Structures are given as structure tokens and as C-alpha cells.
Amino acid sequence: MIDDTRAKRNVKVLVMAQAILGAQMPLIFLIGGLAGKTLATNICLATLPISMIVLGSMISATPISAIMQRYGRRAGFFVGAMGGALGGAVSAYGLFIASFPIFLIGSFLTGMYMSAQGFYRFAAADTASDDYRPKAISYVMAGGLAAAMIGPQLATATSMAFVVPFVGSYVAVVFLNLIGSVLFFFIDIPKPPVPTADSPKGRTRWELITTPRIAVAVICAMVSYALMNLVMTSTPLAVVGCGYDQAQAGYIVTGHVLAMFAPSFFTGHLIARFGVEKIVGIGIAILGLAGIVALQGVQLENFYIALILLGIGWNFGFIGATAMLAGAHAPEERGRMQGLNDLLVFGGVTMASLASGGLMNCSGGSAVEGWAAVNIAMVPFLTLAGGSLLWLVLRKPDTRVA
């Protein structure tokens, strides 16, 4: 029996990192669009700061993965935290001088942290046994529960702390990154061995991405994350646009982020018991249900229920897809495959984030019509993910790549 003592220690460190450093993401996603709206000359660009974060994450994914492959997880996580701190400082400065371009640069730099955070789940699996791996991934994701409570509350407490709205929130982001980065001194994941001439090379990126099981895992991860981002980015604008105040938007986002991470305490157990394909399929179905609820009206209960379902669907779909991917490539393929995966996932999230502002603010003449457009846009992508997963399940077992 494999001893998971080291893996469990790493999970504890990563859970705390998810809670402390991860708090900046719900904070920024809550206020980013509202802050952007105060600076943008065109209302359709209000969510562009969120899109720049995701774009920065997409572009950073491959370099940070390469740093981790060469120098270890700790080095990559430090780079991400310093990028997050710098991004918070530049964003605060951009707001202070009322410069939308500088604010966007800060948002882009923040993407470096978001990219590094995405590797927490893979780091949890590095030293774990096959049996413990899904649980390790889900436990680390569960650290987002604390982030879900800290982030929105911190946004409420700091958004008006300075004369210029939202500057205080970005100053808080700087401190979250500086304080949280200390945790990485306690992580214990061996550096990957330096490859020699006779080391296994593994498959090329093309061979990896055309492996059926890997391809479906990436598609499901892309769709789960992109649709969650599409809807969540528009939510504060929709809630405020429908006549509610920022505090109510904050409560809804808090409920959503709690729903994203609360199931993580048992998602790994469900995967181990019922199989990863079933859990991913359930996640995709719940995402669809979230869209249906959102289209039924713009009462507060509709927002709450839709966003809670959106969080649960993301949890099952994304954690399931991560577990599927983690078991489908060899150790020597880890750097290139995980970097490629997050490049593609955050590429999809970037497009969703860019589309979110346009759909919300420029589809029809009201917030109600914009909110409906956002949720209707989910349909083709849910069809893609569901269809690809069904195709994988129906393939003959002897042709399926584990």
C-alpha cells in the first residue's frame, strides 16, 4: 500500500493557499466589472478587466508550467503570487489616476496568479497514490470555501476604504499575495528529474491532445470553466442592473463561490465510487439546469438558485475533467500536457469573458434581455461537452486510452 503522508501534507498547504491567496479571485470577480464600468468609455467594455485577467492566465499557463517542470512547483507558485501582487498594485494605481489602460495592464498581470492557482489541483495529485488522487484534487478545491467567504467580505470592507472607489480592494489583493506566498516554503513536492538523452520523451502535444480520453477531458474542462465564467462575470452587472444593490450582488456571488467549492469534500469520493465520466456528465447537466433557472426571471431567488447550481455544475464538471486528465498522461508528459490543458481552458474562458460583457450590456435594451442572452449562449457549448462525453463512454473499452 502506498503511503500518502507526503501527499496529505501537501494537500494541507495547498488548501491554505487556496483559502488565502484564492480569496483575491472572488473579490476581483465581484468588483472588476463594476470598477471597469467607472473607467470604460463604452459600457460594452465594462467586463474587459475580467477578460484581461483570464487572457493573462491563458498566456501565462505554458511558461508557468515550464517553470514548474524545470524548477519545481514552489518556484512556479511564487512567480504566480508575485504576479498577483504586482497586478493588484498596478490596478490600484490605474483606478487612482482614472486610467482604464493601466487598470487593464494590472488586470493582465493578475492573470499570472490565476494561472498559477490553476496548478494547485495538479500539484495535489503529484505525490498522491491512484486511490487518493481524486480526493486530493477535490480537497484542495474545497479550500475555495474559505476564499468564497473571505473574498466578497473583503471586497465589501475595502471597496470604499479610499476616496477613489475600489482602490482599497486592490491594495488588499497585494497583501493577500505577499502573505499567502509564505505558505509555499512548506510544500514538499520533488522537482521533476532533469531529462537525459535516454529518458522517456512521452507523446508530443499533438499526440496528447488527439488521445480521445485527453481530448474529452480538455473539452469538458473548457466548457465547465468557460460557462461558469461567462455567467459569473455578468452576474454583478445583471443584479445591479435589475434594481438590486451591490451588497445583494455580493451575497449572490458568495453563494455561488460556496457552491463551487463545498461539494469538493465529497466529489472525489463520488468519482471513486461512480466513475469520473458519470460525475462530469452530471456536472454538465447541472450547468444546463442553472441556465434554465436563470431564464425563468430576475427575482433574487432566481439569481441565487441559478448561481448556486452554476457553482455545483462547475465543481463536478471541472474537478471530474481534471481527475480524468491527471490519470491519462505519464509523468514525463506532465509539464507539456498540463500547460497545454490550461492554455486551452483559459483560452476558452477568455473568449467567454470577452463575450460576457457584450452579451450583458449590448444585447437588447435592458439588463433583463442581456442576462437572458448570456444564459442562452450556454446551449451550444453544453451540447459540445455532453456530446463528446457521450461519444467517449460509447467507445469500445479496448480502444479507450486510460
Measuring CA to CA, which residue among 320, 313, 384, 323 is closest to residue 348?
Answer: 384
Q: Where are the domains of the chain?
A: 5-183+203-399
* Positions of the chain with pLDDT under 70: 1-2, 194-199, 396-402
State the Cα–Cα distance between residues 246 and 243, nearest whole angstrom.
10
Residue with cell 435592458: 366
* Topology of the domain covering 5-183+203-399: Growth Hormone; Chain: A; (1.20.1250)
Q: What is the pLDDT, as a whole number, of residue 400?
A: 40
Helices (H) and strands (E) in the chain, counts: 18, 0
Whether pTM exceeds 0.85: no
For residues 46 and 37, the answer to whether their CB atoms sit within 8 Å is yes
